[in-house]
């Protein structure tokens, strides 16, 4: 697999979402609430997550265990879309605690855990990273 425009878009959105997410989560924590910052970074994060999820549909890998080029990591696409819809549904119901919980879980699962799996040596970005470090 090589760097394509779709992979570049996906990677950029995912990296920016990983950086943007904590700001959105932090802005509503603690004694000082920052609703404008939370909303701005929250919408940016949701947009980046949508771009990452949709672009992932167009990235296929026939080398790893797959079904028509879709690997198990692609299962996160519908999970991400459903979690975002669920979080906004809970927000519309004014259930802020449930909204917060869904967003926290989604950030951890989609940005942190998935990022870890992306850096495994058999994955494209993992191969780039580990070979640059001289470990492959």
Residue 5 has pLDDT above 90, yes or no: yes
d(CA 111, CA 65): 22
DSSP state of 41: H
The larger pLDDT score, comparing residue 135 to residue 109, is at 109
**pLDDT tens sequence across 39-84:** 999 999 999 999 999 999 998 878 778 888 888 888 899 999 999 9
Residue 118 has pLDDT above 90, yes or no: no
Residue 136 has pLDDT above 80, yes or no: no
DSSP 94-132: T-HHHHHHHHHHHIIIIIIIHHHHHTSTTSHHHHHHHHH
The CA-based dihedral angle spanning residues 68, 51, 105, 70, taken in that order and rounded to the nearest 10 degrees: 10
Taking the model in full, what pTM does it have? 0.87
Residue 79 pLDDT: 95
Domain boundaries of the chain, sorted by first residue: 5-132
Residue 61 pLDDT: 79
Residue 132 pLDDT: 86
Whether residue 56 contacts residue 74, with contact meaning beta carbons closer than 8 Å, is answered with yes
- What percentage of residues in the chain have a pLDDT greater than 90? 61
Residue 116, phi-psi category: left (phi > 0), alpha (psi -120 to 50), beta (remainder): alpha
d(CA 88, CA 99): 7
> In the structure encoding, which two tokens stand for residue 102, read together?
């869904």
Orientation of helix 35-57 relative to helix 5-26, angle to 10° = 150
Residue 49 pLDDT: 98
């Amino acid at each position: 697999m090589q760097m394509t425009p779709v992979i570049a878009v996906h990677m950029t959105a995912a990296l920016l979402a990983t950086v943007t997410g904590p700001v959105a989560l932090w802005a509503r924590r603690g004694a000082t609430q920052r609703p404008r910052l939370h909303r701005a970074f929250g919408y940016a994060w949701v947009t980046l997550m949508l771009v990452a999820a949709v672009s992932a549909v167009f990235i296929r890998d026939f080398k790893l265990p797959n079904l028509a080029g879709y690997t198990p990591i692609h299962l996160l696409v519908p999970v991400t879309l459903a979690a975002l819809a669920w979080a906004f549904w809970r927000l519309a119901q004014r259930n802020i605690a449930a909204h917060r919980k869904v967003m926290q879980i989604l950030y951890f699962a989609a940005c942190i855990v998935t990022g870890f799996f992306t850096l495994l040596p058999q994955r494209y970005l993992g191969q780039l990273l580990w070979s640059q470090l001289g470990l492959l």
